[in-house]
Structure 1
Amino acid sequence: MDRIVDIATDGQHLSLHRGFLLVEKDRAEVGRVPLDDIHAVIVHAHGVTWTGNIVAALADRGAPVVFCNSSHAPVAVTLPLQGHHAQNARMQAQIAASTPLMKQLWRRIVSAKIAMQGSLLAARGVAGAEAFPFMARRVTSGDKENLEAQAARRYWPLLMGQDFRRNRDAGDVNALLNYGYAVMRATCARAVVAAGLHPTLGIQHSNRGNAFALADDLIEPFRPLVDAVADQMRQEGIAALDPTQKRRFARLISFDLHLAGETSPVSIAATRLAQSLAEAFETGRPDLILFEPPTAIEWSSIGRAEREGA
């Protein structure tokens, strides 16, 4: 089973030992995890050291190592150089993708994100949720009207309250969101590399210093899943991360979604989306495998299941 390994204690040392990630502190073993079970490693502690062997072994298995700052926002990632047998051809197709194709791909991603936002708000019984399906249908090629931003301006106050402002550098619920997005970004980065694509070459995100650009494109429809967990924590009065709350976010990768007539966990949904994107680059057709928004019962199970399992 895929596991998110969170390194949050200062001064730990990571190494490879007989097929395990070995975690030590002051030369004493803290824990070990089978390498084949690791989905990603997230590091946001100080003074962490590691061996080159463990980084190479994780890369061989496609497991990214994500380094976060004090606000739990990711600032760096390690990814394997080779992720797919047709990697060269796919990257060439990615580089050569036409502007009209990129705009159509972005339209589909934005539309799916807005539909997810509206679905979450509707599941919460929030007045105003009915506008989001209409906005999702109105998204045009390249999102010329910037409906993504228009939806966000409505969405956050409706979900988190009128005083909430999304700020990556702030604490409280913003830090919870940062951590949840780091988990989801690692999942998308892993899927992108496995599909033979380059994570730096984005569809819409194009910051020159962003090594996650394509992962940041693909993460967009998944973000409301993180928002649902963070909002549940906010309602419970939780404003700080601890191991229990981190596990709630980590378990999101196994949350079931409906796509292409099947039920698959988030980790597989990300893989299917990345694979369909690679095929879109090769064929020139903007066909993406995107999941359906959860039902109201499924939305409520995100918070309830985490709470019961905590």
Structure 2
Amino acid sequence: MEQEALLPAPSEARIVEIGEAGRSISFAHGNIAIAGDEGVIERIPILEIAGMVVWCPGLSWSGSALAALSERGAGIVVCEPNYRSRMLSWPMSGRRWPGRIRAQMEMDGPFARHLLRGLAKARDDQRDAVLGAMGRGNALKALRKASKPTIGSSQMSRDRKQADVAKQIDRHYWPWLAGPGFRRDLLKEDGNAVINFAHTMLRVEATRAVHKAALHPSIGLGSGRGKGGLIDDLMLPYRPVVDLAAALLIATGQRKLDEAARAMIVRLFTAPMRGRRGLMQIRMGLEELALSLANCIESGKPMLEIRLPAIKDPSAIYDQMTDVRGQESERDDQVSGWG
């Protein structure tokens, strides 16, 4: 039996959060400095930063800080007060960038949609696994079966039918996952803010993966190319496990997003999880998926490799987020919270 490869330590890169007004961010001597009225609060080595999440007014940046983060490949996501992502900064660098962007732009529609169907199927399979682990069996399969196109139907009617079924699935999915009284509302600041933040963190990690693969985020795979963008496409297979993590926090009484909840969600992306081929991390899975997608686009062969965590016991996911062994030092390594 092969020995499982050791995973890199989660402390190799961290997500920096900034949530308090009046902060300023600068760069000098290889460090990002976060300062307030009282002076410099912390200096973070640029090599330790995987991305930044910001949701505060009155924030100022130096040009050198933005340039350093761009060179590092660290995306910046700006959120609303309810942690819903609203803006993404995108680093542009890398020798492979021009060739892969050209291949993305020249990709024909049927090939792109074939790749997207593969990502959507992986998401659906993971949703089934999540609901199965929660005791809901194959609750979504009947709804998805209704979305199968009839012979001779136009692309427009197929898209409309699938959109209607997607709305039905969303209407049932969250009450099944987070409790019968729960309703998904992006604008609410209750348990919905927990989900918003979890999705924002997934977006940060997907952004990082897309940049490392030298792909362009706005050239998506769907028929509305650029509508949701490649980052939304790449997020699809990993949404269910992130949804499950957020729902578990809500179920344990985490109705508001405090610093401890944010740290638990951040920990999810670098926690070792069981996959089909041994241990994995969501962060590593996204990077491998983005690289596989880039290879498919360049070669014209739809051989997409999607590595996902096995979802059998929800308590195992929760334990990964709430692991108290070295919790304080791990939190320092993974997340800086300002507010």
Global fold match (TM > 0.5): yes
2:206 matched to which residue of 1? 188
How large is the RMSD of aligned CA atoms in angstroms? Answer: 2.6
Match of 1:301 among 316, 327, 330: 316
* Alpha carbons of structure 1 residues 268 and 97: separation in structure 2 relative to 1, 3 Å: same
Q: Provide TM-score, normalisation by structure 2.
A: 0.81
User: C-alpha distance in 2, partners of 1:166/1:114?
Assistant: 19
2:53 to 20, 42, 52: 42
What's the offset of the Cα at 1:307?
A: 2.6
* Equivalent pairs, count: 304
SS of the equivalent of 1:21 reads strand
Whole-Å separation in 2 of the counterparts to 1:130 and 1:26:
55
Displacement of 1:148 in angstroms is 4.8
Counterparts of 1:140-219 in structure 2, within 5 Å, are: 146=162, 148-204=166-222, 206=224, 213-219=229-235
Q: Which residue of 2 aligns with 1:9?
A: 20
Q: Offset of 1:59 from its aligned partner? A: 0.8
Q: 1:157 to 1:244 in 2, by over 3 A?
A: same
Distance 2:223 2:79 in 1: 20
**Residues 1:81 and 2:96 are matched in the alignment:** no
Verify: 1:107 aligned to 2:117, yes or no: yes
CA deviations 1:107-134 (Å, max 9, x no partner) are 111111111111112222x23x224578
Q: Residue in 1 aligned with 2:65?
A: 54
Q: Please give the alpha-carbon distance, in whole angstroms, between the structure 1 residues aligned to 2:100 and 2:56.
A: 36
Letter in 2 for 1:229: A
Q: Is 1:97 matched up with 2:107?
A: yes
Asked if the contact 1:14–1:54 (Cα under 8 Å) also holds between the matched residues in 2, the reply is: yes
DSSP-derived class of the 1:202 partner? coil
Distance 1:274 1:257, change over 3 A: farther
Q: Are the structure 2 counterparts of residues 205 and 26 from structure 1 closer, same or farther at C-alpha, using a change threshold of 3 Å?
A: farther
Distance 1:34 1:133, change over 3 A: farther
Further displaced range: 196-205 or 129-138 = 129-138
CA contact (8 A) 1:107 1:139 kept: no
In the alignment, does 2:75 pair up with 1:64?
yes
Q: Give, as a single letter, the amino acid of the residue that structure 1 aligns with 2:130.
A: L
Q: Output one character per residue of 1:202-253: Cα deviation in whole Å (capped at 9) or x when no partner.
A: 1128486x6x611011111111222122112211211111211111111122
In the alignment, is the contact (CA less than 8 A) between 1:120 and 1:228 conserved in 2? yes
Deviates more, 1:255-264 or 1:101-110: 255-264
Q: What pairs with 1:243-282 in structure 2 (closer than 5 Å)?
A: 243-257=259-273, 261-282=277-298
Is contact 2:21–2:58 with CA below 8 Å preserved after alignment? yes
Quote the Cα distance in structure 1 between the aligned partners of 2:105 and 2:277.
Answer: 31
Structure 2, unpaired ranges of 5+:
1-11, 150-154, 328-339
SS in 2 for 1:170: coil
How many angstroms apart in 2 are the aligned matches of 1:254 and 1:57?
23
Which residue of structure 2 aligns with residue 122 of structure 1? 132
Q: Which amino acid aligns with 1:69?
A: E
Residue 140 of structure 1 deviates from its aligned partner by 7.1
TM-score by length of 1: 0.88
Structure 1 spans left out of the alignment, 5+ residues: none
Q: Which has the higher contact order (CA 8 A, sep 6+)?
A: 2
Partner SS state of residue 219, structure 1 = helix
Aligned position for 2:253? 237
2-side partners of 1:259 and 1:161: how far apart?
A: 27
Contact 1:16 1:54 in 2 (8 A): yes
1:170–1:177 distance in 2 versus 1, CA, 3 Å? same
**Residues in 2 aligned to 1:281 and 1:262: alpha-carbon distance in whole angstroms:** 27
Larger Rg: 2
